[in-house]
Structure 1
Amino acid sequence: MRVLLSTYGSRGDVEPLVAFAVRLRGLGAEVRVCAPPDDDFVGRLASIDVPLIAVGPSAKALTKAAPPPSSLPERAAQLITAQFAVMPEAAEGCDVVVATGLMPTVAGALSVAELAGIRSVYVAFQKVTLPSPHHAPLAYPGRPHPPGVTDNRALWDLDRESMNVLFGPGLNASRVAHGLPEVDDVRQYVTGKQPWLATDPVLDPWEPIDLDVVQTGAWTVPDERPLPDELAEFLAAGEPPVYVGFGSMPMHAAADVAEVAVAAVRAHGRRLVLKRGWAGLTVAGDDVFVVDEVNHQALFPRAAAVVHHGGAGTTTTATRAGVPQVVVPQATDQPYWASRVAELGIGVAHDGPAPTTESLTAALGTALAAKARAAEVATTVRTDGTAVAAKLLLEPA
């Protein structure tokens, strides 16, 4: 079988496809990936010998630019146009398209699969993008939930309206230009009849409804990369440090977060491992080790706590490692993951995206006390997500 995996977004949108590609390749499938052209992604796919077909502009550049919400429909149209420009050729000879990432690019990828007449699957990496009366949808930039509206069904009705307003014109312009009919309900088109939810049931429990959601478990792959020698020496030279990293977040709301983090960590007598990330964080000190790309699966179990932005992948990796967490959510689904960490008792959801020394010191103190609970929950996290998904894809009912 030939499989085209498609995404557009941050590292958290690409890494699960790396895991799925490895699993599919091991079962004899031919795999190619459409993703943004960022060097991080090109290198990651090259490391598993899977071809990356570049689609759209740099995700890092787009994230750092932080354009105003009013430009969202225009940006969505551009991203969808990029899907139609590249993916038809990439999909040639493929049997199925698996699409995830930003909603407009998913709609574009699914449209290309429709154009090619091949099967497609939509995969969500958090349940809050799937409509349900049991939880509220995410709000889009420039279109916050109306004050006083708390009924989830009403909010999902507004979510449908928002998606049609923001993404419908761009999607339908590209569809019509390629001979496809217009879509009058973008969310319904993306979600389809049987979306997949690639998350852990403990971290992200799905409550059954009429929508036939298939929860596979999170898509992760064992990372065998050793830690750099200098980092290994730093870890061995003292007590477990606190890891602080915000991944693909530009941290516009917290420009001084590196200084705040080191002060909060030092207040607890701990050392710090700081990840530079897309925000370019750095700070000096003998008790600080700054890293770039690093194996989280190897590092997190050796940390006293993990302070992060609340991406689905980082949250899952920290939970599997059995390490307490402080989640400082910045955007999109990250407040949801922060709330799940707090509800499970494995860490703290920081209030707001811009921590102060006082607020982070307090949150870290609470998290450090959750060590036993974090270790307990770690034993319940599934590790078979890609195996379940591969069986569904390669052996459809």
Structure 2
Amino acid sequence: MRVVLSTYGSRGDVEPLVGLAVRVRELGAEVRVCAPPDEDFARRLSDADVPLMPVGRSARALTTGAPSSSSLPRRAAELIADQFDVVTAAAGGCDVLVATGMMPAAAGALSVAEKLGIRSVSVTFQQLTLPSPHRPPLAYPGRPFPPEATDNRALWEWDAQSIDALFGAALNTHRAANGLPPVDNVRDYVVGDRPWLATDPVLDPWLEPADLDVVQTGAWILPDERPLPADLVAFLDAGTPPVFVGFGSMPLHDSEDAARAAVEAVRALGRRTVVARGWAGLALLDDRDDCFAVGEVNQQALFGRVAAVVHHGGAGTTTTAARAGAPQVVVAQAADQPYWAGRVAELGIGAAHDGPTLTTESLAAALTTALTDETRARAAAVAGTIRTDGATVAAELLLDAIGRERPPVPA
């Protein structure tokens, strides 16, 4: 059996596929991943011995380039064209294609599966793109919701119209060129009738009833066996547990100010700091020995040794910190991150920072909540409820479905 996993997006869109790919391979299937060509993605997949088929240009360059909302249709057309080019070559002869990542990229990958006549599964790593009467959708940049619209179902209709306006023409142009009929609702085409939600049900409960038959597998996390760097271990051993500060794949408008505010806030509380450079390029303020900077590192191991985790609120980082039992402060920047900030606060495992811009005072206030004994105890309790088998569950579902569809072998 052959499986192709396709995505385009940030580290949070690629990392879960590493976990799924390894579990699929353990069950005896051949697997490859189509993803952006960024060096850190390629290295992570190589470490797991998973073949990468590079798609398009660097996701980091696209994200940090601060593109305008008016460029979304043009960028969507590029992403869709890349999917038809690369995924078609990767998926020839495969049994199933798993599509996730940015909406136009997923639409392109699913169209390739349709063209090739193979089974496909649509997956999301946060539920906010799945229509539900219980909450409104996310608004796309440059396309705010009408102020008079408050009914969730009406907002989801507006959401579908926005997605069609942004991505519909590009998708249908490429579908026509490949002999496929047009799609009249891009969002519903991507979501499908039975989407998979690869998130933890404690952190991200899917509420019924809704109009979708959602399969929630649990988060796809591969145990990270990499040792922490020796100099980082020495720093951790030299004093009390530090506060981790990092914003993952998010660019920041002023990373120098953010780093300064973060370090000064942690120092004001008498704590040490581990600063993750990330795509924002955070750096140390000075050469004092109470701060340590890291690049790519095993966060599963590191978060088990910190007093708290200050981060942007990506689904992966939120889940990793929750599994480690580390109190969190979520400084949400965009997209689904305010949702994760709200979930952290609702569960009592940390605090939601007030807005995306850090000040020394605002972060110190949020950290004061996160560093209480009550929050730490609650974080430890929730850590024991987080599922660890999500990637295995998904791999088994995937291969079981392939097996059911294959004709029996003649005796």
Same fold per superposition (TM over 0.5) = yes
TM-score, normalising length from structure 2?
Answer: 0.95
Q: In 2, Cα distance between the equivalents of 1:97 and 1:255? A: 42
Q: In 2, Cα distance between the equivalents of 1:334 and 1:149? A: 23
Q: Which amino acid letter does the alignment assign opposite residue 357 of structure 2? A: A
Pairwise CA RMSD: 0.9
Residue by residue over 1:114-137, the C-alpha shift from the partner in whole angstroms, topping out at 9 and shown as x without a partner, is 111100000010111100001111
Q: In 1, Cα distance between the equivalents of 2:118 and 2:363? A: 49
- Equivalences for 1:98-177 in 2 at 5 Å? 98-177=98-177
- Following TM superposition, by how much is the alpha carbon of 1:149 offset from its aligned partner in structure 2, in angstroms? 2.6
- Does the residue aligned with 1:302 lie in a helix, a strand or coil? coil
- Following TM superposition, by how much is the alpha carbon of 1:173 offset from its aligned partner in structure 2, in angstroms? 0.6
Q: In 2, Cα distance between the equivalents of 1:93 and 1:355? A: 50
Q: Which amino acid letter does the alignment assign opposite residue 232 of structure 1? A: V
Q: Which amino acid letter does the alignment assign opposite residue 111 of structure 2? A: S
Q: Percent identity?
A: 70
- Does the residue aligned with 2:398 lie in a helix, a strand or coil? helix
- Tell me the equivalent position of 2:68: 68
Q: Which deviates more, 369-378 or 98-107?
A: 369-378
Are positions 1:301 and 2:334 aligned together?
A: no
- Tell me the equivalent position of 1:223: 224
- Does the residue aligned with 2:67 lie in a helix, a strand or coil? coil
Q: In 1, Cα distance between the equivalents of 2:194 and 2:323? A: 28
- Tell me the equivalent position of 1:248: 249
- Tell me the equivalent position of 2:89: 89
Give the conservation status (yes or no) of the 8 Å contact 1:346–1:373.
yes
- Tell me the equivalent position of 2:279: 278
Q: Which amino acid letter does the alignment assign opposite residue 115 of structure 1? A: K
Of 347, 351, 360, the match for 1:344: 347
Structure 1 unaligned residues grouped into runs of 5+? none
Q: In 2, Cα distance between the equivalents of 1:185 and 1:266? A: 51
Residue by residue over 1:249-280, the C-alpha shift from the partner in whole angstroms, topping out at 9 and shown as x without a partner, is 11126551110110000011000000000111
Structure 2 unaligned residues grouped into runs of 5+? 405-411
Give the conservation status (yes or no) of the 8 Å contact 1:96–1:119.
yes
Give the conservation status (yes or no) of the 8 Å contact 1:136–1:152.
yes
Residue by residue over 1:356-384, the C-alpha shift from the partner in whole angstroms, topping out at 9 and shown as x without a partner, is 11100100111111111111111111111
- Does the residue aligned with 1:395 lie in a helix, a strand or coil? helix
Change (3 A) 1:181 1:66: same
- Tell me the equivalent position of 2:19: 19
TM-score, normalising length from structure 1?
Answer: 0.99
- Tell me the equivalent position of 1:265: 266
Q: Which amino acid letter does the alignment assign opposite residue 275 of structure 1? A: A
- Tell me the equivalent position of 1:191: 191
- Following TM superposition, by how much is the alpha carbon of 1:148 offset from its aligned partner in structure 2, in angstroms? 4.2
Q: In 2, Cα distance between the equivalents of 1:292 and 1:181? A: 46
Give the conservation status (yes or no) of the 8 Å contact 1:83–1:109.
yes
Give the conservation status (yes or no) of the 8 Å contact 1:242–1:272.
yes
- Tell me the equivalent position of 1:382: 387
- 4+ runs of 1 displaced by more than 2 Å? 145-150
Q: In 1, Cα distance between the equivalents of 2:253 and 2:169? A: 30
